[in-house]
Amino acid sequence: MIEQEHLIDLQHISKDYDGVTVLDDINLYIRKKEFVTLLGPSGCGKTTTLRIIAGFETPSSGKLLFEGKDILDIPPYKRRVNTVFQKYALFPHLNVFDNIAFGLKLKKMPKDEIKRRVQSMLELVNLTGYEKRHVDALSGGQQQRIAIARSLVNEPEVLLLDEPLGALDLKLRKEMQLELKSMQQRLGITFLYVTHDQEEALTMSDTIVVMRDGHILQIGDPKHIYDEPANAFVADFIGESNIFRGTMVRDELVAFAGREFPCVDFGFGENVPVDVVVRPEDITVVGEDVGQLVGTIRSVLFKGVHYEMIIDCGEFTFKVHSTSMQPQGSRVGLSIVPFNIHIMRPMDTPKREAAEHAV
Amino acid sequence: MRYNVSLPWWAYAVMGLGLAVFIALVGLSIRRNHGIKRSLFSAPYTMWMILFTILPCILIAYYAFTDTAGNFTLDNFRTFWDSNSEMKKLVGEEYAASIPRGTVNVDTLVYSLWMAFLCTVISLLLGYPAALFMADRQMKLGASIVVLFVIPMWMNFLLRTIAWMSLLEDNGLINMMLKAMGFKSVRLMYNSGAVLLGMVYNYLPFMVFPIYTSLSKQNPSLHEAAADLGCSPMRTLTKVTMPLSLPGVISGITMVFMPSVTTFFIPRVLGGGNTMMFGDLIESKFLTEGNWNGGSALSLIMMLLILISLSILRKADPNGEGSGIV
């Protein structure tokens, strides 16, 4: 029954370019009305995955199912997906109206129907009255919104977005993130979003797919990915982290940074090497006498909402976020609650189950 | 043939003044900046322009509006409109009415424009697909085709035309092959078709290259966007690729039409005496008749026509991307 909910199914998709593997056995499904983000550093294969779904690339092997049917042989212009391109790719020889109406005109829709739909799209993206403008005369943010309108007006089953906010400044990007999310919820369209910005992914997505080197490292909702990263790479890529090499002494006891800490993880075995991840905000600064570790504050940075302190505990260095500040050079104690210590297998033995859609 | 170049005093004055202004400007720019200004580097070219472009234009205009004695007259233009006007003057007004208007000059101009138009259209029809093929990123052959287009241009234009002659003439290569196969020989030369062939052959690269340039610099994601929005490959071509290559097409048209309309030599070689184009007419006025005034008037008319057609082309390309030549 769950299978039927899948709108898009990528099965064992691989892609080589002249012998270089860009995608290696990708398995992923996307549900109807889901906001899925492919997240990873550049060169991880996220854009290639998107282009395969759009039809601009053909995988070397694997299947691409759309509502259960293989669509690999269907050319891009017949697929019920639309793409918002990285640099918008607006048609420079057409004005705003004709850009948005491009897809509708191809469908031979009646003129007043086209006009009505373009109008309502312009309303949706807050650009009413811009019909006659030349696209080159618009700002980056406006061009972005026209590109989104041009795709959405065709009422695609899936909207593919390839780093659509990359060229915008920070403030505009944040605004557009919220706008896109609310648009997606209002229209009930499935979004597949590609970005390298972890904050963007966390803000907007229902499901995040973390990729690296053509592999999927982890799939899950933002909170799951943030709180339970599958490995040190994910932990480091999503948010800031203190990552240490450690040893799982036994169940619920881990040794790192020169001492043993109680934790909540089990099932790793005894005396097994592990990666230990602690988020900076999960470390509490306490009195020198009550901390699990004692250290000296090397530097303090004001970051707006919190202070970021770099604390040296012998040879180990911790990054700590706290709303209260301790002066530089002072001796403090550090304390970590067992629940906030995340244990993961080292990267060189990747979890096989990480590639499954874990919900 | 020698021609007595005698200019009135004011022509020398204009030239002298131009030179004086130029020297003064250069001097000023050096003094103001206590060093050499960047615009000074354009001085050799500016000098060249003044000597070999602006002055000759002034001279042509001067000759066009004067007679052999240097007096102002519109007779040269009258001759263009009615080639019998000289004769009419000689026979007097009584008999002039019985002599019809001589249309040879106007007819030659119309014929030249028509031939140039045909040459441009054929070049466009042949050149656009070629440019499209060359610019196709998936075609590995594209680059070698570019070379094939360039190689004939290494050869001199006159040689290329004469080469065509040895192919097309009555005892030429083609007719020899026809005869060897038992056919009758065919007259391939000395008609408008042969002239047109020679023109298209010579000017085609000037159509292909601007179009090729504008096609190959198109952002491929625009073509993907068109496909994404529902364009079949054919529709992508007509709705995106072609409209975006318009600047290239316009500069191609300009670069073919301009030399086509002023073509000479090709009609003489491939057309024999049967075809005459406006370029030949101008040439014969200057060199055969020694009539610098009449030739200048024809040149002026030609320049005017080119200016008009260029401004029409510019209207068709309001963004002005192709206006590099225009």
Percentage of residues in chain B with pLDDT exceeding 70?
91
For residues A250 and A191, membership in a common domain is answered with no
| B103 contacts chain A (CB < 8 A) | no
Interface of B with A in 115-174 (CB under 8 A): none
For chain A, the domain total comes to 2
**Alpha carbon distance A253, A241 (integer Å):** 20
For residues A35 and A135, membership in a common domain is answered with yes
Which CATH number do you get for residue A249?
2.40.50.140
| A117 contacts chain B (CB < 8 A) | no
**Alpha carbon distance A273, B24 (integer Å):** 85
Chain B residues whose CB is inside 8 A of the A103 CB are 229-230
Please determine, looking at this structure, whether the domain spanning B111-285 carries the CATH number 2.60.40.1180: no
Residue A359 located in a structural domain: no
**Per-residue pLDDT, A345:** 84
Instruction: For residue range A41-76, list pLDDT tens digits in order.
Output: 988 999 999 999 999 999 999 999 998 899 999 999
For residues A195 and A328, membership in a common domain is answered with no
**A248 close to A270: Cβ distance less than 8 angstroms:** yes
**Per-residue pLDDT, B86:** 81
For residues A216 and A245, membership in a common domain is answered with no
Of B221, B230, B243, nearest to A87 by CB-CB distance is B221
| A91 contacts chain B (CB < 8 A) | yes
* Domain stops at, among A201, A227, A253: A227
For residues A331 and A298, membership in a common domain is answered with yes
The closest alpha carbon to B313, from B235, B247, B221, B215, belongs to: B247
Instruction: For residue range B43-63, list pLDDT tens digits in order.
Output: 788 888 888 888 888 999 999
- Beta carbons of A83 and B222 less than 8 Å apart: no
Of A85, A87, A103, nearest to B230 by CB-CB distance is A103
Residue A233 located in a structural domain: no
**Per-residue pLDDT, B5:** 61
pTM, two decimal places: 0.77
Q: Which residues of B239-269 are buried (b: 16+ CB within 10 A; e: fewer)?
A: bbbeebbbbbbbbbbbbbbbbbbbbbbbbbb
For residues A187 and A292, membership in a common domain is answered with no
| A106 contacts chain B (CB < 8 A) | yes
Q: Locate the domains of chain B by residue range.
A: 111-285
Instruction: For residue range A239-284, list pLDDT tens digits in order.
Output: 888 999 999 999 999 999 888 999 998 888 888 999 999 999 999 9
Instruction: Enumerate residues 6+ apart whose C-beta is below 8 A from A6.
Output: A29, A30, A31, A65, A68
Which of the residues in chain A have pLDDT under 70?
Answer: 1-4, 348-359
pLDDT at B180 > cutoff 60: yes
Instruction: For residue range B258-292, list pLDDT tens digits in order.
Output: 889 888 888 888 888 778 889 889 988 999 988 99
Closest Cα in chain B to A155: B229
**Alpha carbon distance A109, A101 (integer Å):** 10
Which CATH number do you get for residue A113?
3.40.50.300
For residues A94 and A39, membership in a common domain is answered with yes
For residues A154 and A70, membership in a common domain is answered with yes
Residue A354 located in a structural domain: no
**Alpha carbon distance A241, A281 (integer Å):** 9
**Per-residue pLDDT, B19:** 80
* Least confident segment among A344-358, B34-48, B111-125, B163-177: A344-358
For residues A8 and A66, membership in a common domain is answered with yes
Calculate mean pLDDT across residues B248-252. 91
Query: What residue type is assigned to position A14 of the chain?
Result: S
The residue assigned the tokens 């106007």 is: B106
* Domain stops at, among A227, A255, A283: A227
- ipTM comes to 0.80
**Alpha carbon distance A161, A201 (integer Å):** 12
Residue A351 located in a structural domain: no
Chain A residues whose CB is inside 8 A of the B232 CB are 75, 77
Interface of B with A in 187-226 (CB under 8 A): 219, 221-222, 224-226
CA of B241 vs chain A CAs: smallest distance (Å): 10
**Per-residue pLDDT, B42:** 77
Q: Which residues of B144-168 are buried (b: 16+ CB within 10 A; e: fewer)?
A: ebbeebeeeeeeeeeeebeebeeeb
For residues A215 and A259, membership in a common domain is answered with no
- Beta carbons of B231 and A54 less than 8 Å apart: no
Residue A356 located in a structural domain: no
Closest Cα in chain A to B234: A77
**Per-residue pLDDT, A192:** 95
- Beta carbons of A75 and B243 less than 8 Å apart: no
For residues A209 and A89, membership in a common domain is answered with yes
CA max distance for chain B: 82
pLDDT at B78 > cutoff 60: yes
pLDDT higher at B41 or A47:
A47
| A108 contacts chain B (CB < 8 A) | no
**Alpha carbon distance A304, B326 (integer Å):** 58
**Per-residue pLDDT, B34:** 59
| Residue A59: CA count within 13 A, CB half-sphere | 27
Q: Which domain holds residue A131?
A: 2-227
